[in-house]
């Protein structure tokens, strides 16, 4: 199995090198969980990487305060990357990417400038920008919610819905997307999440009936159920063990395919696993320690791969009936922040 790691090569001002050369191509041995580096592809600050549904294209976000870009690569044998195109961006800190189900456009988020946008792509490179919206508003956490900060734009194909999480103004908004990447406001009303939550990432069931959000600032997972065309808050649960008093920000969230929901903690430096009850609520949290600052993770069959930014490593955990265990292997990867699985 081929694994692609996105990294920070520098800080977002282009200074203070991490030592990473860019995008790392690795092999995961399915029998043992061993992760080894194959090669690297030069790219400045590819902090988020995403593969097209057919696995033939890789997109990377060059996250910078100024002068950022989208990158597109063709994916060859064994995941080998060939640069195709670079699309300069005017916004600040592009921090998220996702391919459409047909692989013909990307959704993306500019954290610094509060923009959700989409861009047409093909094996020939980048087409036109198909959507752009700048959020407005603030929240009560003065040093983090001084303005809108769009953090992710995910797609629910069954609802033709784009889910836009804005950490800065405590909203989750929904857009109906067309096959060409155009977007208009969805019939699902915008969520005004509880003040100070700071919604970062989302996960959802295939039919969209259940939506889970990480609250980066409140260190929670929020569970919403779709009822009569609107999402209704059903549960708020902490990502941290009782009694923890240190600094923490919740980050990524995914199902593991084994009846659990998993989220990552940066500060407590852990993965928290919840059992999914039949009604969608979260039960019996338990934790496994990670390297420092587990920013993003991905599930690959019986393995979970976690990118640990501040300890500069990618860790492999085994996935069982109780969630992740380990790590079973670790690969040095300076500035590692994102994992994509080349299936």
215-227 pLDDT, tens digit each: 999 999 999 999 9
Residue in 116, 76, 73 with CA at minimum distance from that of residue 96? 116
Number of C-alpha atoms within 13 angstroms, CB side, residue 108? 35
Question: 120 by DSSP, 3-state: which?
Answer: strand
117-171 pLDDT, tens digit each: 999 999 999 999 999 999 999 999 999 999 999 999 999 999 999 999 999 999 9
Number of C-alpha atoms within 13 angstroms, CB side, residue 185? 8
Per-residue b or e along 192-211, where b marks 16 or more CB atoms closer than 10 Å to that residue's CB: ebeeebbbbbbbbbeebbbb
Contact between 151 and 167 (Cβ < 8 Å): yes
Pairing of strands 161-166, 125-134: unpaired
71-113 pLDDT, tens digit each: 999 999 999 999 999 999 999 999 999 999 999 999 999 999 9
Contact between 299 and 3 (Cβ < 8 Å): no
Q: How buried is 272 (Cβ within 10 angstroms: 0-12 exposed, 13-18 middle, 19+ buried)? A: buried
| Mean pLDDT of the residues in the chain | 97
Question: 28 by DSSP, 3-state: which?
Answer: strand
Q: pTM to 2 decimals?
A: 0.98
């Amino acid at each position: 199995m081929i694994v692609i790691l996105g990294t920070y090569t520098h800080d977002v001002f282009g200074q203070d090198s991490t030592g990473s050369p860019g995008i790392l191509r690795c092999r995961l041995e399915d029998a043992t969980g061993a992760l080894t580096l194959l090669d690297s592809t030069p790219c400045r600050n590819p902090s988020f990487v995403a593969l097209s549904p057919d696995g033939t294209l890789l997109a990377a976000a060059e996250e910078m305060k100024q002068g950022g870009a989208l990158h597109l690569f063709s994916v060859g044998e064994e995941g080998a990357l060939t640069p195709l195109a670079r699309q300069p961006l005017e916004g600040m800190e592009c921090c998220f990417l996702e391919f459409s189900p047909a692989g013909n456009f990307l959704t993306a988020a500019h954290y610094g400038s509060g923009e959700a946008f989409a861009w047409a792509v093909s094996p020939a490179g980048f087409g036109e920008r198909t959507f752009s919206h700048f959020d407005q508003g603030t929240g009560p956490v003065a040093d983090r919610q001084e303005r809108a900060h769009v953090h992710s734009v995910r797609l629910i194909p069954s609802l033709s819905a784009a889910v836009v999480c804005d950490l800065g103004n405590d909203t989750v908004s929904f857009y109906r997307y067309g096959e060409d990447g155009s977007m208009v406001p969805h019939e699902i009303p915008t969520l005004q999440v509880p003040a100070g939550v700071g919604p970062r990432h989302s996960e959802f069931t295939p039919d969209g009936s259940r939506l889970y959000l990480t609250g980066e600032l409140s260190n929670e997972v929020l569970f919403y159920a779709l009822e009569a065309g609107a999402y209704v808050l059903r549960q708020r649960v902490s990502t941290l063990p009782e009694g923890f008093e240190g600094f923490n920000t919740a980050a990524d969230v995914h199902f593991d395919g084994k009846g659990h929901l998993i989220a990552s903690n940066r500060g407590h430096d852990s993965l928290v696993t919840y059992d999914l009850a039949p009604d969608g609520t979260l039960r019996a949290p338990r934790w496994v320690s990670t390297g420092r600052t587990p920013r993003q993770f991905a599930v690959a069959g019986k393995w979970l791969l976690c990118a640990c930014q501040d300890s500069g490593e990618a860790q492999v955990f085994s996935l069982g009936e109780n969630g992740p265990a380990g790590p079973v292997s670790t690969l040095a990867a300076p500035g590692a922040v994102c994992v994509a699985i080349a299936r």
